[in-house]
Amino acid sequence: MSWHLYILSVIFVTAGVFHLIRPKAFMRIMPLYIPYHRLLVYLSGIAEILAGLGVLFIATRTLSIWAIIAMLILFFPVHIHMLMNKKASLNFPRSILFFRLFLQFGLIYWAYQYI
């Protein structure tokens, strides 16, 4: 197994864990039109952990990669909301917020390489 998969796994497991231990920060960046902020933060955290772990096993790799790609696409509104809403920006500079938005494309491409 490529060491890149371990890095991908660590990124998503770590992000998922942070959803569970710091849910308020993630709820703050969600657009108001998305309902059930707390529930969705916890569910997305669990999904990130499971997908991150799933890439480590051949039997679950393809499903996990598709789940990661789907989550990255679904997270676009959050990144756009952070750019457009000062309170949701968590005081990150706009350059960092733009970088995070475009990083999504790179992460999608990276994950897709393992299908």
On the question of pLDDT at 99 being above 90, the answer is: yes
Consecutive H or E run containing 52: helix 37-54
pLDDT for residue 1 is more than 90: no
Domain boundaries, the chain: 3-112
pTM for the complete prediction? 0.93
Confidence of residue 53 (pLDDT cuts 50, 70, 90): very high
* CA dist., res. 112 & res. 35, Å (int): 29
Separation in Å, CA 40 to CA 16, 19, 23, 49, 59: 12, 10, 10, 14, 27
Closest CA to 40 of 55, 28, 53, 51: 28
Look at residue 70 and tell me whether its pLDDT is greater than 90.
yes
Contact status, residue 76 vs residue 29, Cβ threshold 8 Å: no
